[in-house]
Amino acid sequence: YVPFGERAWHAGVSQYRGRSGCNDFSIGVELEGTGETPYTDAQYEQLASLTLALLEAYPSMSTDRIVGHADVAPDRKSDPWTTFDWPRYRALLQVKRDASGVA
């Protein structure tokens, strides 16, 4: 666990949209998984709730920049694997945003 305002070594050696050192400008969230079994309903619910809290805490955060490890460190990371349902997560997040009024 690392508080929102603290820096961790979550992404490691990484790059996103031409900018290196993702730990300096991103927030990392880890889900427990193996890549072989689907993520659970509870994991999607908690991830969407946490993301909503982050959007509230950081209003300039853009949901189009929510990505997986594989997007920032493809030579070293492959998660959240094909078992992660990105459309499901994004739809659930949108439902929570609509219900809360968070833009």
Q: Which residues are catalytic?
A: 30
Collapse the DSSP code of 34 into the 3-class scheme (helix H, G, I; strand E, B; otherwise coil) and give the result.
Answer: coil
* Residue 95 burial (10 A CB sphere; 0-12, 13-18, 19+): exposed
Residue 42 token pair: 């509870």
- Helix-, strand-, coil-residue percentages of the chain, each rounded to 5: 40, 5, 55
